[in-house]
Amino acid sequence: MERKKLKLDFLFRASPNIIYTFLTQPSCLIRWFCDEVDIVGEKYSFGWNGAFEEAEMIDDIQEERIRFEWEDGEDDEYLEFNINTSPVTNETIFEIIDFCDEDEVEYQTQYWTSLMETLKKEMGG
């Protein structure tokens, strides 16, 4: 099955600093992304329903970008979060880049949309 690169943009009223905190702090990650997380250096262990996936943070530009490479992922695939500010509206644009099978694009889009709704609630709107 062919793999697709998925790019999704979401608007937030929160500052880049707040969003960055929710991407890098264990106490914040478990509020919207996973059930458990353990961080040792650049190695992240994310847990969902008792199953864990390992990732390495391969890029970290504070308040701008976080990129993870999954330990068991496909070559040249990653999970990336980009944080930008719109010069027109001053809203924060939160971009997600993920990869999935061609027949999972709709599911992945719905999954990330649901996670972003949770993230917005956890950040206070």
Express each pLDDT in 43-100 by its tens digit.
999 999 999 999 999 999 999 999 999 998 888 899 999 999 998 988 999 999 999 9
Distances, alpha carbon 95 to alpha carbons 16, 35, 89, 111, in Å: 12, 22, 16, 14
- Closest by Cα among 4, 11, 5 to 93: 11
What's the whole-model pTM score?
0.93
Chain CA centroid to CA 7, Å:
11
CATH number at residue 36: 3.30.530.20
Cα(50)–Cα(5) distance, integer angstroms: 27
Domain of 115 in residue numbering reads as 3-122
When divided into structural domains, the chain yields a total of 1
